[in-house]
Amino acid sequence: DQQVKQNSPSLSVQEGRISILNCDYTNSMFDYFLWYKKYPAEGPTFLISISSIKDKNEDGRFTVFLNKSAKHLSLHIVPSQPGDSAVYFCAASGWSGGSNYKLTFGKGTLLTVNP
Amino acid sequence: KAGVTQTPRYLIKTRGQQVTLSCSPISGHRSVSWYQQTPGQGLQFLFEYFSETQRNKGNFPGRFSGRQFSNSRSEMNVSTLELGDSALYLCASSLPPQETQYFGPGTRLLVL
């Protein structure tokens, strides 16, 4: 049972345009959401997070939007740069019969930004 | 501040052997989590330690175990290795009560 889903395995955008990566979740106990960027053979790098009490969080070129009623979040990257090309993982955590220090990850979306 | 470090970075073992991986968290971080990444399953949670106690465990067989030392460094052990254990093993640390986890570079394990 996949509780965090990234339905697009890949996304290709032109440099300077907006990249929108999407993520859906099914577990209503999730209350904290994160986006990580990963290059091959490296560990994930934390990008941005959002708590369920907010619906938007911005950090430079990165903005995360959370729609709790739809159980959907998205990551916007504006403007996209070739160096943003990587796999992006959505992750979620929340109390579920134990500690909340467990991240449940989506399968990732490969973003390619073309010059 | 130094990031999360993991040793070794690469490891080759044969079926039936056992392996121990090490993780040093970011200074001051007391929570350490372990994840397995494979092409088919993505990133899967193994377990999480805080103050030398395992607080949460994923759905992995008992061959996978871990521990945390008083200095917050952690080790994970896999006994009786199987071909399917070939994966990138990632360690992450966090500073409770914050929930953001910071990952190390991983240990690439190949089981032949």
pLDDT in tens, A30-83: 989 999 999 987 899 999 999 999 999 999 999 999 999 999 999 999 999 999
Q: Which amino acid is at A93?
A: S
Q: Does A89 sit within 8 Å of B103, measured CB to CB?
A: no
Report pLDDT digits (tens) over B30-68: 999 999 999 878 899 999 999 999 988 999 999 999 999
**pLDDT the model gives residue A96:** 60
**pLDDT the model gives residue B41:** 80
**pLDDT the model gives residue A97:** 53
With cut-offs at 50, 70 and 90, classify the pLDDT of residue A18. Answer: very high
Q: A53, A102, A105, A110: best mutation site toward chain B, by most B Cβ within 10 Å? A: A102
Residues of B in contact with A100 (CB under 8 A): 99
How close A68 gets to chain B, by Cα (Å)?
19
Residues of B in contact with A101 (CB under 8 A): 31, 33, 48, 50, 55-56, 94, 96, 99, 101
Report pLDDT digits (tens) over B6-40: 999 999 999 999 999 999 999 999 999 999 999 87
CB-based contacts of A97: which residues, under 8 Å, 6+ apart?
Answer: none
C-alpha distances (whole Å) from B107 to each of A42, A73, B11, B34, B58 are: 9, 30, 7, 11, 19
Q: Quick one: tokens of B109?
A: 């394990």
Residue A98 has pLDDT above 60, yes or no: no
What is the number of helices (H) and of strands (E) in chain A?
Answer: 0, 11
Q: Does B4 sit within 8 Å of A43, measured CB to CB?
A: yes
Residue A33 near residue A88, CB atoms below 8 Å: no
A27 reaches B (C-beta below 8 A): no
With cut-offs at 50, 70 and 90, classify the pLDDT of residue A2. Answer: confident
The widest CA-to-CA distance across chain B, in whole angstroms, is 40
CB-based contacts of B6: which residues, under 8 Å, 6+ apart?
Answer: A43, B21, B22, B23, B24, B89, B90, B91, B104, B105, B106, B107
